[in-house]
Structure 1
Amino acid sequence: MKEKELTQLLEQYKYEELPVEQVVKELKKAPFANLDYARIDHHRGLRNGASEVIYCQGKTLEQVQGIVAHMLEKGGANILGTLATAEMAEAVRQVTSEVAYYQDARLFVANPKNGPKTSNKILVVTGGTADIPVAEEAAITAETLGNQVERLYDVGVAGLHRLTSQLDILLEANVVIAVAGMEGALASVVGGLVDKPVIAVPTSVGYGASFGGVSALLTMLNSCASGVSVVNIDNGFGAAYLASMINHMSEK
């Protein structure tokens, strides 16, 4: 429920003597829309500061299209669809021409709106070029959520001078997202260089013993550097959402 709708609902009961319980019950009547195959949470933006995001993997083209169409009817903007295919983006274009699809990041943004961005910066760092798809999911998500984002790619610990030569950029960031596969040591190194939160994203990049990202995940969870948090394997979106919350909180 948007602020305007909430205000209208509160005005409706302004001059009526109703028990608090009944008013609360009324407010809970329209928190989501039931499309049978999906229940769209219209209160998400009111509760959490950002509207619901569509996790596209496993959904049909028709389901993705239907969800976006309903969100647009309710005035939705910057509608994110993660782990989306190009075909899904094309299906959404039948509902609205205002769709940006990012192939590397595997996500789309429907009805994109360029709002004000925080003055603080989020830096997205990758160990290697193969980590870029996950990093781009993080970067574009953070930008869509109203953040300034800078990218620093392919600076893994196998050539540590590539990272230390960019120390000024690292120190300027308010939050760092460290994306790496293989052994996942990048997050610990970055965490030992900066005085800001580091959000580590293990990726599924690596040979057999990396176990599809589990090796990097365990390394990051066992980091000896302070101030490092860890999200799930390949979860660039989750890292960006957390980074955005930290970034916006520091400006309040």
Structure 2
Amino acid sequence: MDLKETRELLEKIKNGNLTVDEGIKKLQDLPFKDLGYAKVDNHRELRVGYPEVIYCAGKTPEQVSGIVSFMLTKGCNILGTRATEEVFQAVRDVCPEAEYSREAKVITIKNKDMKTSDTYIAVVTAGTSDIPVAEEAAITAEIFGTKVERIYDVGVAGIHRLLDRLDVIREAKVIIVAAGMEGALASVVGGLVDKPVIGVPTSVGYGASFGGVSALLTMLNSCASGVSVVNIDNGFGAGYLASMINRL
């Protein structure tokens, strides 16, 4: 129940169009809905501007579809991350309009237009292997109303590829850089633009990359000002943050 629905409910009670008992029953779901295995936060969008996101890993397909079923009654956009094909099939049973990115492992259900700005964010990857994480970031931003420009496979091993798209990158309001191996691309981009750069270290790389720790440390130690860093493979976190910055 959002702020508008709450006001309408109170007005109905005030005008005698709804009994107190009926009002109390509806208000029971006001702060959150207890499904037994999950407490869905009904006020998330009211407080922070975006509805609750479903982290699907560790949940059963039935649990995820149950959460989705309830959220559908609220008319909000729905995002499920780290979802398997099995989870998606369960969600599609309750919502045939649901879409699934096998690459990003993300489920989306768009119930309303959340366009927040005419500006866009750029999602940049060092290599093709970083695209799954980048797509998680891009789809996250898009479901929350942000326009996204994708610029993939422009790593430092062939820096001319990056320079060829520098005009598009510089026009973005925020830039997300996903890179594995040594993670140098975030620093390079940070030194070429006057916009915030969000580094996403990925777990791509050979043994000494330590599952993304090498890229994480490189980005954390960046000498380029204006570079912030999210956790390893956290495309969702980067997309969410970029969308928030873009709507300011």
Fold match (TM-score > 0.5): yes
Structure 1 residues 191-217: Cα deviation after superposition (integer angstroms, max 9, x where no partner): 000000000000000111111111111
Q: Which amino acid aligns with 2:3?
A: E
Contact 1:121 1:147 in 2 (8 A): yes
- Calculate the aligned-residue CA RMSD, in Å: 1.9
The answer to whether the aligner puts 1:167 opposite 2:171 as a matched pair is no
The whole-number CA distance in structure 1 between the counterparts of 2:47 and 2:14 is 22
Residue type of the alignment partner of 2:68: V
Q: What is the distance in 1 between the residues matched to 2:28 and 2:173? A: 37
Structure-2 residue corresponding to 1:7:
7
In 1, Cα distance between equivalents of 2:167 and 2:195: 13
Q: What is the letter of the counterpart of residue 97 of structure 1? A: P
Instruction: State the number of aligned residues.
Output: 238
Q: Give the corresponding residue for 1:130.
A: 129
Q: Distance in 2 between matches of 1:208 and 1:226?
A: 29
2:141 partner SS: helix
Decide whether the 8 Å contact of 1:205 with 1:213 is kept in 2. yes
37-46 or 166-175: bigger deviation: 166-175
TM-score by length of 1: 0.89
CA distance in 2, matches of 1:107, 1:132: 13
Q: Which blocks of at least 5 consecutive residues in structure 2 are unaligned?
A: 16-26
- Does the residue aligned with 2:104 lie in a helix, a strand or coil? coil
1:195 maps to which residue?
Answer: 194
| 1:75 corresponds to 2:91 | no
The alpha carbon displacement at 1:87 in A equals 1.4
Contact 2:128-2:152 at 8 Å conserved across structures:
yes
Report the identity percentage.
67
In structure 2, the CA distance between the partners of 1:112 and 1:105, relative to structure 1 (3 Å rule), is farther
Equivalent pair of 2:116/2:247 in contact (CA under 8 Å):
no
Q: 1:165 deviation in Å? A: 1.8
Superposition deviation, residue 170 in structure 1: 1.4
* Cα deviations by residue, 1:138-167 (Å, 9 ceiling, x for unpaired): 111111110110000000111111111211
Gaps of 5+ in 1: 16-26
Residue in 2 aligned with 1:32? 32
Note the alpha carbon deviations across 1:51-71, whole angstroms, 9 max, x for none.
000000111010011000011
TM-score (normalised: structure 2): 0.90
What is aligned with 1:24? none
Residue 208 of structure 1 corresponds to: 207
Quote how far apart the aligned CAs of 1:30 are: 2.5
1:51 aligns with 2:51: yes
